[in-house]
């Protein structure tokens, strides 16, 4: 599975920080990684709240544009090792200068330089500027403006992440309207912790993709709607199992969604936190459901079609995958 060319649409930049990067960062900051990594370099969290605290601590350790540039370089290197040729990363303007536009531009400039260099070595990437639900709709407007003002280059989409039990997707309509007018692709986390109603709420925002979305399986009509509308699901099976949303990989609804005609893709979410990698995700699904490379190639073609990149890049990806 390592040699299979892959596209990943759902990867949180801070949550993808490799263990080695975090150890180096902690040494430079004279900070402890207790509660983030154990002595063996594995994630130390035990339950979802611990995971959220660990994630926030990683974000707090990142200080300024150069830290984000170094982080992106480390993450893209790891992705390339996993056979990825294209990756979309969730990047929150809130973590890059408090969603202040000049600060966001500074962070973006440093990351774009890294992204250009990585593209020359064979791995393309784009950023999805991400609103954080728990900070509320007004803060989301700031993030959306950051995205809209920097659209057209590496910033290719707007996303909505954070706790699904806070507010309604419709509360963030202004932010998504702003991003749509700027020509950005739209996606939202839904149907992970929230039920089918959260997926329906995300669809009202006009998204073409849903992050996770697995609980749509509880509503047959909703599954049919996702299939008929060609909505792409950014599925992260290892994350769902690690967080206890799905008890075991063989109970994951990915196969049932696929059988129902829903476009599914495979991503890692926050791989070091969940003890996974893109190759592990593919191999685990192959072992569990008996899928061969033909099935995964279709997943990746759907991912290329759903990617928020420009048309020439999409055509190049499809050609490379075919």
Instruction: Give 6's strand partners.
Output: 84
Question: If 0-12 CB within 10 Å is exposed, 13-18 middle and 19+ buried, where does residue 157 land?
Answer: buried
Contact 150, 125 (CB under 8 A): no
Q: Which of 88, 192, 234, 281 is catalytic?
A: 192
Q: Among 156, 157, 186, which Cα is nearest to 173's?
A: 186
Whether 192 sits among the annotated catalytic residues: the reply is yes
- Give Cα separations from 173 to 16, 150, 199 (angstroms): 28, 20, 15
Q: Among 213, 220, 299, which Cα is nearest to 258's?
A: 299
Alpha-carbon span 103 to 112, nearest angstrom: 14
Distance of CA 86 to the CA centre of its chain: 12
Which amino acids are annotated catalytic?
192
């Amino acid at each position: 599975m390592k040699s299979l060319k892959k596209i990943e649409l759902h990867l949180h930049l801070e949550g993808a920080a490799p263990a080695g990067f975090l150890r180096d960062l902690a040494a430079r900051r004279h900070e402890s990684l207790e509660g983030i990594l154990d002595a063996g370099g594995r994630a130390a969290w035990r339950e979802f709240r611990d995971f959220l605290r660990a994630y926030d601590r990683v974000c707090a350790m990142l200080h300024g544009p150069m830290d984000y540039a170094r982080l992106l370089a480390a993450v893209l290197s790891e992705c390339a090792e996993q056979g990825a040729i294209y990756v979309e990363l969730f990047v929150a303007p809130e973590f890059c200068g408090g969603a202040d536009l000049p600060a966001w531009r500074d962070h973006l400039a440093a990351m774009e330089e890294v992204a250009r260099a990585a593209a020359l070595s064979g791995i393309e990437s784009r950023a999805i500027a991400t609103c954080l639900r728990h900070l509320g709709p007004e803060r989301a407007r700031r993030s959306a403006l950051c995205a809209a003002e920097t659209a057209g280059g590496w910033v290719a989409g707007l996303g909505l992440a954070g706790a699904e039990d806070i507010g309604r997707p419709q509360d963030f309509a202004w932010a998504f309207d702003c991003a749509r007018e700027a020509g950005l692709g739209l996606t939202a986390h839904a149907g992970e912790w929230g039920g089918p109603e959260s997926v329906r709420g995300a669809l009202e925002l006009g998204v073409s993709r849903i992050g996770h979305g697995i609980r749509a399986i509880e509503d047959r009509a909703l599954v049919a709607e996702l299939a008929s509308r060609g909505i792409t699901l950014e599925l992260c099976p290892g994350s769902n199992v690690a967080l206890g949303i799905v008890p075991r990989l063989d109970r994951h609804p990915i196969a049932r969604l696929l059988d129902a005609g829903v476009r599914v893709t495979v991503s890692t979410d926050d791989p070091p936190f969940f003890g996974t990698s893109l190759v592990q995700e593919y191999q685990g699904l192959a072992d569990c459901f008996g899928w061969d490379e033909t099935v995964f190639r279709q997943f990746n073609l759907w991912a290329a079609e759903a990617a928020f990149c420009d048309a020439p890049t999409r055509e190049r990806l499809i050609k490379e995958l075919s």
